[in-house]
Amino acid sequence: MSNYHIKNLEEYFQVYRKSVRDPENFWEEIAEENFLWRKRWDKVVEYDFSKPEISWFKGAKLNITENCIDRHLYTHGNKTAIIFEPNEPSQPAENITYQQLHERVCIFANVLKQQGIRTGDRVCIYLPMIPELAISILACARIGAIHSVVFAGFSSTALHTRINDSDCKMVITSDGSYRGGKTIDLKSIVDEALESCPNVEKVLVVKRINSEVKMKPNRDVWLQPLLDSAPIDCPPVLMDAEDPLFILYTSGSTGKPKGMVHTTAGYMVYTAYTFKNVFQYRENDVFWCTADIGWITGHSYILYGPLANGATTVMFEGIPSYPDFGRFWEVIQKHKVNQFYTAPTAIRALAKERLDFSAEYDLSSLKILGSVGEPINEEAWHWYNDNIGKKNCPIVDTWWQTETGGIMISPIPYSTPTIPTYATLPLPGIQPALMDENGNELKGNLVSGRLCIKYPWPGMARTIWGNHDRFRETYFSTFKNTYFSGDGALRDSTGYYRITGRVDDVVIVSGHNLGTAPIEDAINEHPAVAESAIVGFPHDVKGKALYGFVILKETGEGRLQENLRKEINQIITEHIGPIAKLDKIQFVTGLPKTRSGKIMRRILRKIAENDTSNLGDISTLLNPECVEEIIEGSIQIQ
């Protein structure tokens, strides 16, 4: 029996028990069986959650690109590593073999070196879903530069905050990007951002849409001529197991975004292992994850996990609605996709459209369907199961986070059961616990509480870039000696987990993790706004949408209020990006506060959900009278 590839329920339980009884041995066997190590580790795991300090495979030396690319060349050089499917269906797809990927990554890595990038430097990548995105990430990893990918839908303010937070020396971007029938001028967003980034020395620009862009002398360089003249040979730099591989920002419930730091060996082992098992990947399968590489899902399951397994992975530049709502299904048919991994928000949006969009295409290549990013509701689960999987493809509802690096709780197809709305069982090596508010672990079944993980796993983030205290505070201080995820969950009578959603002030909108505090900070910059509070409310496509309660300095009427609504959303778009726009904005004269001045979001949440029958005790509020007014005002907004 191999730990690395679980094939039935009995094996799952055996492997799981072993992984809990002897985690070191369990992970050691996996690491030994599958990877190319230039020096073996001295210790599999060391950890102290009180600090927190966590290390995996300490003392080992490796390069992740050697594992994701070079190692496959001898046996699979001509196999397709990446299928690039462009935005326009009439444009040809590009198949990049492992051999070609190797060449392109090495050449790109040489360009990085020529342009002054050294091991340990941070490089910000702000690119659309084109091959250069994958290649530049891997090129950084080749030379041990730390990549920080910023999703190319983020605004210039969001971009400069992230560039400065990790002190990036270089930005890699493109003239623009395609988004369905539109183009987006990425380079000018970068230009604006860089006005506030004094330490960026170089900007490499990929030509994608052939638009006119301004190039700043001595700073901006077109990429292609550099690639054309760079040497092809680039030996991988050997990294320590715990050297940072990348930084990826995620929203916190307060303050600025958190630059989660993932390190080399543990992340590699964990993404590879989870990819292989959750998607039951077999040689010659074609795997497609529809996420953007700007999010952790794309890092782990478009790039690192699949490539570490020598898989063929699809990279899609387009959107599900262009040129029509059949696009996903057309791509599945065209590339004979075997595993398809997407978000509930996409499923819900597509389920609203005519069924013939999916019925027109041959989806018989599909073996496994996946869901990620937010709870999947029962209706969407069944639509996915019936119309896309034709009741023949197990659906893996995968729970995890930017912080966890890889999938944590999920069915393993053909081994563990799939149940609508349940992420079901922890993967081997993962020890979940549910806690009550007083920090006691809730033992047994039929309990619900805060979802924590009691033991380290190789893929977990090690710190927040530049702010280790915040890392400890956020994840390791709520409950002693456990990682706290920020999610709530229940464990049913058979021990299966169902994720019930965030228990903090993060709202998941269309699968995007949005902290409400940074949005409130943005709104409060509007000269007419005195104070604001944002909460989530259920939305039939986005899962959750945002509802803003806003106090104005002077109350405006009718038209003025309408203009203000637009301006507020404009300010949010500028500070964060269009994904954080508010669906509903209610102007109020007061916000419910505790005597210590804290906004009682619980009450606002209930009002936004239109569930005012049970607001709980409001008599202890500083200003209970405002609640009635807010309820009345909300009726006009609903």
In this complex, which beta carbon is closest to ligand PRX, that of residue 310 or of residue 411?
Answer: 411
Q: Do 446 and 460 contact (CB within 8 A), yes or no?
A: no
Alpha-carbon distance of 175 to 126, in angstroms, equals: 11
Closer to ligand PRX by Cβ: residue 326 or 459: 459
Whole-angstrom distance, CA of residue 289 vs CA of residue 302: 6
Give 63 or 404: the residue with its C-beta nearer to ligand PRX. Answer: 404
Residue with tokens 């563990």: 416
b/e per residue 181-197 (b: at least 16 CB within 10 A)? eebbebbebbbebbeeb
**Minimal distance in Å, beta carbon 371 to ligand PRX?**
6
**How far does CA 15 lie from the centroid of its chain?**
28
Q: Tell me whether residue 327 or residue 502 sits nearer to ligand PRX (CB atom).
A: 502
What does R_g of the chain's alpha carbons equal in angstroms?
24
DSSP H or E segment with residue 345: helix 344-351
Residue 627, CB half-sphere, CA atoms under 13 Å: how many? 25
Per the CB < 8 A criterion, the answer to whether 308 and 279 are in contact is: no
Shortest Cβ 508–ligand PRX spacing (Å):
5
Q: Check: CB of residue 290 under 8 Å from CB of residue 346.
A: yes
Shortest Cβ 585–ligand PRX spacing (Å): 24
Query: Reduced to 3 states, what is the DSSP secondary structure of residue 455?
Result: coil
Taking the least distance from each CB to ligand PRX, the nearer of 102 and 462 is: 462
Smallest distance, ligand PRX to C-beta of residue 487, A: 5
Least distance CB 602 / ligand PRX (angstroms) = 18
Residue 134 structure tokens: 């994958």
d(CA 381, CA 411): 14
Residue pair 307/314 in contact by the 8 Å Cβ criterion: no
Q: Which is nearer to ligand PRX, 82 or 296 (CB)?
A: 296
User: By C-beta, is 223 or 278 nearer to ligand PRX?
Assistant: 278
Task: Tell me how far apart the alpha carbons of residues 409 and 449 are, in angstroms, rounded to a whole number.
Answer: 16
Q: Between residues 155 and 297, which has the closer beta carbon with respect to ligand PRX?
A: 297
33 phi-psi bin (left φ>0, alpha ψ -120 to 50, beta other) = alpha
Minimum distance from residue 400 beta carbon to ligand PRX (Å)? 5
Least distance in angstroms from the C-beta of 219 to ligand PRX: 32
CA 488 to each of CA 47, 134, 491, 497, 503: distance values in angstroms, whole numbers, following the listed order = 25, 34, 10, 10, 6
User: In terms of Cα–Cα distance, which of 35, 45, 39, 33 is closest to 60?
Assistant: 39
| Residue 111 C-beta: closest distance to ligand PRX, Å | 31
25 - beta bridge partners? none
- Name which of 26 and 381 has its Cβ closer to ligand PRX: 381
Q: What are phi and psi of 209, to 5 degrees?
A: -110, 5
Closer CB to ligand PRX, residue 65 or residue 485? 485
CB of 230 to ligand PRX, least distance (A): 35
Q: How far is the CB of 515 from ligand PRX (least distance, A)?
A: 11
User: Whose structure tokens read 């659309």?
Assistant: 128
Binding footprint of ligand PRX on the chain (CB under 6 A): 250, 296-297, 372-375, 397-402, 423, 485-487, 499, 502, 508, 513
